[in-house]
Structure 1
Amino acid sequence: MSPDVDLTVPKPGPHPLRHRLLALDSRLFEFAAERNWPAAESVLPRLSRSANHGVLWFAAAAAMAASRTPRARRAAARGLASLGLASLTINTLGKRSVRRPRPVLDPVPLVRQLKRQPITTSFPSGHSASAAAFATGVALESPAWGAVVAPVAWSVALSRVYTGVHFPSDVLAGAALGAGAAFAVRALVPTRTRLVPPARPRA
């Protein structure tokens, strides 16, 4: 995709599929904004803020490393490496390739809105990319720790729509990029389970 593409500017000629997808995206955002989520009001906005600059995932990696098990430490390191690659990709290519304005906050209740609104473009979601990258990286090394981290990562991604700072497609695209970054890291540095043991010498 060429740089500086604004999804809100109609392109010349008919683009029915594109218009339908953008319309569906907006409807899903408004649907989420209009729903009453009383159990999430005190959790998701705070969780969303805690994931700023990857702070939540660095804390999770530190907690995993504190368990003093080699596999947990490897999972934490792989999660952070995946997060780093995802963040680099989002900041250098993702945010600069598509200029999509943030959603209008009118339908989002004030209690959900973040005190400090993001100033970057909306597509894709960097928070979702970091969450998916860390969780996927951890799970590739340690499925047990991945099962612990996955619900938190899913909640962070959900919080970005809940607080009104992203459209659903922003979150899905970010999560896909994050998971892809984790698999790219595994391709460069295989997990222990993917390493082929050396052949035993014949007697």
Structure 2
Amino acid sequence: MKRLQRLDLRCSELFLQHGYNQLQARISRLVSRTGDGPLYLLIALLLAAVDGSRGMAFLISGLTIFAIELPLYLLLKNFIRRERPRGLPVFIRPSDRYSLPSGHTAAAFVMASLVAAYYPYASGAAFVWATCIGASRLLLGVHFLTDLVAGAVLGFGCAALVLFC
């Protein structure tokens, strides 16, 4: 476990301690904001309005997945209680104290999985976007790499449970 923690710390140091971190932070803030919850609801509502039964199925599946993912995320975060990175640049104020798993990353992978299931032609872009949201959280100094991996597994896992079981 200590080895993994050292790897996490080294990765954060690599991405946060260099001369370009202010520009990186601006871009990361913009990318991170695209992973805020209200945008997901707006996307799902728009699809339900313009794409008939497929859009409505997307909306219902999304609501179902998030009804599973959000409580699991909160349970894990408050059970594990991993402190956020310290002693490194931080470019936003996180909404809570703990870092594992990354909620932004989990939600982004829920959405990417939904897109892949209902709009497969856009799946590549959706997963790249989800990965960028996760990376933005590392680059903003509020998560470790393993927080992002855990978030991606949580989001994808909850989506797979609903979509394929």
TM-score bracket for the superposition, by shorter chain length: 0.7 to 0.9
Q: Which residue identity is paired with 1:56? A: L
Choose the corresponding residue for 2:100, options 115, 123, 126.
Answer: 123
Query: 1:151 — aligned with what?
Result: 128
Q: Deviations over 1:123-158 (max 9, x none)?
A: 111111111112112312331243443333222111
Q: CA deviation at 1:119?
A: 2.2
Query: 1:13 — aligned with what?
Result: none
Percent sequence identity is: 30
Query: 1:89 — aligned with what?
Result: 72
State whether residues 25 and 140 of structure 2, in contact with CA within 8 Å, keep that contact through their aligned partners in structure 1. no
Q: CA deviation at 1:37?
A: 6.0
Further displaced range: 154-163 or 29-38: 29-38
- Look at both structures and tell me which one has the larger radius of gyration over its CA atoms: 1
1:67 aligns with 2:55: no
Query: 1:172 — aligned with what?
Result: 149
Cα separation, 2, equivalents of 1:148 and 1:177? 20
1:44 aligns with 2:28: yes
SS of 2:50's equivalent in the other structure is coil
Q: CA deviation at 1:69?
A: 4.1
Instruction: Report the TM-score, using the length of structure 2 for normalisation.
Output: 0.84
Comparing both structures, which one devotes a greater share of its residues to helix? 2
Choose the corresponding residue for 1:107, options 71, 85, 88.
Answer: 88
Unpaired segments ≥5 residues, structure 1? 1-17, 189-203
Q: CA deviation at 1:43?
A: 3.0
Q: Which residue identity is paired with 1:25? A: D
Q: Deviations over 1:44-84 (max 9, x none)?
A: 213324534x1121122233234324324323432343233
CA-based RMSD of the aligned residues comes to 2.3
Unpaired segments ≥5 residues, structure 2? none
Cα separation, 1, equivalents of 2:4 and 2:56? 41
Q: CA deviation at 1:166?
A: 0.5
Query: 1:98 — aligned with what?
Result: 80
Cα separation, 2, equivalents of 1:67 and 1:152? 22
